Amino acid sequence: MRRNNRAYSLPIIVILGVCALINVAAWLSRSFSDFYVANIFPLLTGIYGRITSIFPFSVGEILLVLVVIYIIFTVLFILIHTVFMAVGKLTGKTDKPSAAKKAFDTISDVLYRTTPILLTITIVLMTLNCFVLYHTSKLSIRQEEAATEYTVEDLARLRDYVVKKCNDLSKVVPHDENGNVAYYGDMKKTSIDAMKKLGEQYPRLSGFYVTPKALYFSDFMCQQYMQGYYFPFSMEANYNDRMNLMNKPFTMCHELAHTHGYIYEDEANFFGFLACIGSDDIVFEYSGYLGVLNYINNDFYNAVSKEEYKSHVKISDRVRYDNEFLSKDGWKEVEDNAIFKTETVKKAADAFIDTNLKVNGVSDGKVSYRYVVGLIMDYYYSMEQK
């Protein structure tokens, strides 16, 4: 029996040891992480991503549900088993074999052997598809002193330009009979094509792309105010199917950027923006500008007086409507079907995301999302220099 335990434990220990070494190397050497994301990670996307892309549903979402069920089952089993053993001791029947005892022993053995394997698989996938990526170099267009390189006037110019583009595009995108923006094409294919187009300028964005997938529990996503998720353990780009249509093109491109190694949220936002405005699809173009409008507008609003802000280009009512995360009717449906209060879910989600980013070396946590403004400023500055 001891040999069997050793034969069972040794591979797990070795694999976990290798994962530990990879993580240490990633933390200590940016060159190692850069090499990994440029040469090894694309192979994983091409192989593992192709497998999970076969399924029309989100494999990652299913896995998360199974994990929750597994944890609940394990906790309940431990509680029931503890009570069973306690009762057995009181009645003096612990040594007598019974059908119940045999069942408990069998389940205990399965859990004992299965849990370490599942944990090991999770650690391997998270290491290869997520943890290492957080230690790669930043985009080359980013300047270390970006915060001091641009003036409020530069920010105002960018803000007015984006607002004007949104105002203009809101008038020419197609609308349905209810006055909402309509889309009649293949949004998933268009998002992939838009990202592949960027591969000409950013090599890491070339190659195979997974297919964006809608999440079944999109109502729960709304309660988190989340537009999409990249699931490292399934190599999938998932999006909230409940949110308003104009959020979807930008979100799909954002999540696809993650699957090509751009794990930082500001960089994924940046590529979501570039892919959409570079698309020949006018709805995608509009979604791209809407996707960064709030970040840029909020930065400008916080940088100037209210009087100064009001003197600049106004965001039209139509744009404000199109830029909503979810309509009032949509929120009512979400709230009516909710198991937990949205406020509680959002706080928990914010805490998890913020902690996850900080643990992986992103010291500013969720605040890092808005750093896309600096990347866009760098981009337009570099374009002007050419």
pLDDT confidence band for 83 (50 / 70 / 90)? confident
Would you state the pLDDT for residue 2?
44
Please say if the pLDDT value at position 90 is more than 90.
no
Q: Which amino acid is at 160?
A: D
Would you state the pLDDT for residue 164?
97
Please say if the pLDDT value at position 32 is more than 90.
yes
Q: Which amino acid is at 187?
A: M
Secondary structure letter of residue 371 according to DSSP: G
Domain layout of the chain by residue ranges:
2-135, 146-385
Give mean pLDDT, residues 342-366. 66
**Of the ranges 178-192, 247-261, 350-364, which one carries the lowest mean pLDDT score?**
350-364
Bridge partner list, 236: 231
pLDDT confidence band for 44 (50 / 70 / 90)? confident
Secondary structure letter of residue 313 according to DSSP: P
In tens, the pLDDT along 283-334 reads 999 999 999 999 999 999 988 899 999 999 999 999 999 999 998 888 888 8
Please say if the pLDDT value at position 386 is more than 60.
no
Would you state the pLDDT for residue 25?
96
Structure tokens at 252: 């799909």
Give the torsion sign (CA, 72, 73, 74, 75). Answer: positive
Phi and psi at 41, nearest 5°, equal -55, -40
User: Rg for the chain (alpha carbons), in Å?
Assistant: 25
Secondary structure letter of residue 203 according to DSSP: G
Its pTM stands at 0.88
Nearest to 107 by CA among 78, 64, 85, 82: 78
Structure tokens at 277: 């405005």
